[in-house]
A = this chain, B = another copy of it.
Amino acid sequence: MAKLIFRADELRDYVVRFFVKYGVPEADARIAADILVTADLRGVDSHGVIRLDTYYGSRLRKGLISPRPEIKVIRETATTLALDGGSGLGHVVGHRAMQAAIEKAREMGVGMVTARNSNHYGIAGYYAMMALEHNMIGISYTNSQPLVAPTYGRTAILGTNPIAVAVPAGKHRPYVLDMATSIVPIGRITVYQKAGKEIPEGWGIDKDGQVTRDPNAVLKGGALMPLGGIDLMRGYKGYGLALLVDIFSGVLSGASTGAQVGHPNENIPADVGHFFAAINIEAFRPIEEFKEHMDRLLGELKDAPKALGQERIYIHGEKEFELAEKYEREGVPLMVEVVDSLKATGAEVGLPFDLVPVGRVD
């Protein structure tokens, strides 16, 4: 797949202009743009500018996302906050919520914030990572449209409901876990379908709940399997984690849950729910001691003997940090078809996607 390379700051600026055109205040547009482009920088293309129109622009046009949401406080204590996102961009709601969690943790040691009536918020890891510069642990969960079947079920009820946790270290890069609780996201199945290839056994089930290697069977009436896969491999643990995320993001916040969470591609309010937490490390241990201990643990893992044929053991987030540094420096590669769709949308809405690529990969 051929890719065109664009400068990250130019991509950000375009996305800002795009959102501003739809009435999003510039400060909010900058937040959403940074989160979207950060996904591309970290190699999580599926949550980057590829979604600009389908998940966000088209919903702003239809009034399904409010450009200037009234974000309401439902309940608040010194340590907790329950927000109603006013159907705003998930990025704007999420950023505001995580900032509140960090402020509470600064004063109180711990801060926890829920948000309901929100929308798709992009990569969960972004919010968790916001805690890092404050010497805090950050946590972020969100529910999402139904794609995953419970163990022994045959229909998609839970989302791919991600878990993101970021923890600062010293000389090592921070630990940043940002994982869907399904084995793979639905986009991976589509990639195999488009390539006419079979999927590995265990990634998905067909409409009867049987494991299938046919990507079409998963996409048409089937479902993704939770992390772990089949029962023998303890897929009920992945199912339990997906449900956990729905409880924290959806039930605790009072958002939609289960199969009621709206798909960002459908013409219905999404009512997505999020959960955020920040933990002030100093409340438990001197931060320098903590970071030194993190370095020791991460170093022990990285320096451990490798499996036959392997050269490196990774810490979660490490690959993504390296990619982001490279792409920030050299430019972000976007698939030609993504660029084409940005151009088509840009022409349609009167905001030409006129960025000049700085390179090309074939």
| Residues of chain A having any CB pair with chain B under 8 Å | 74-75, 77-80, 82, 108-110, 112, 114, 137, 149-155, 157, 165, 167, 175, 177, 179, 183-184, 200, 202-203, 205, 208-210, 227-229, 232-234, 236-241, 243-244, 246-247, 250-254, 257-259, 279-281, 283-285, 289-290, 293-294, 296-297, 300-301, 304-308, 310, 312-316
Q: Chain B residues near A200: list those with CB within 8 A.
A: 232-233
CB distance from A208 to the nearest CB of B (A): 5
With the chains together, A74 CA to B285 CA distance in Å? Answer: 8
Tell me if B114 and A77 are in contact (CB < 8 A): no
Counting chain B CB atoms within 10 Å of each CB, which of A78, A243, A289 scores highest?
A: A243
Tell me if B152 and A307 are in contact (CB < 8 A): yes
Also in contact, A233 and B202, with CB within 8 A (given A109-B77, A157-B304, A308-B154): yes
Within the complex, which residue of B205, B210, B247, B284 is in contact with A252, where a contact is CB–CB below 8 Å?
B284
With the chains together, A71 CA to B244 CA distance in Å? Answer: 32
Q: Kindly report how many copies of this chain are found in the complex they form together.
A: 2
8 pairs of A and B residues whose beta carbons are closest in the complex: A209-B307, A152-B310, A80-B283, A80-B109, A177-B240, A179-B237, A79-B109, A208-B308
Q: Chain B residues near A237: list those with CB within 8 A.
A: 177, 179, 227
Q: Chain B residues near A75: list those with CB within 8 A.
A: 283-285
Q: Chain B residues near A289: list those with CB within 8 A.
A: 254
Counting chain B CB atoms within 10 Å of each CB, which of A151, A203, A234, A300 scores highest?
A: A234
Also in contact, A153 and B258, with CB within 8 A (given A234-B184, A285-B82): no
With the chains together, A151 CA to B299 CA distance in Å? Answer: 15
With the chains together, A314 CA to B152 CA distance in Å? Answer: 8
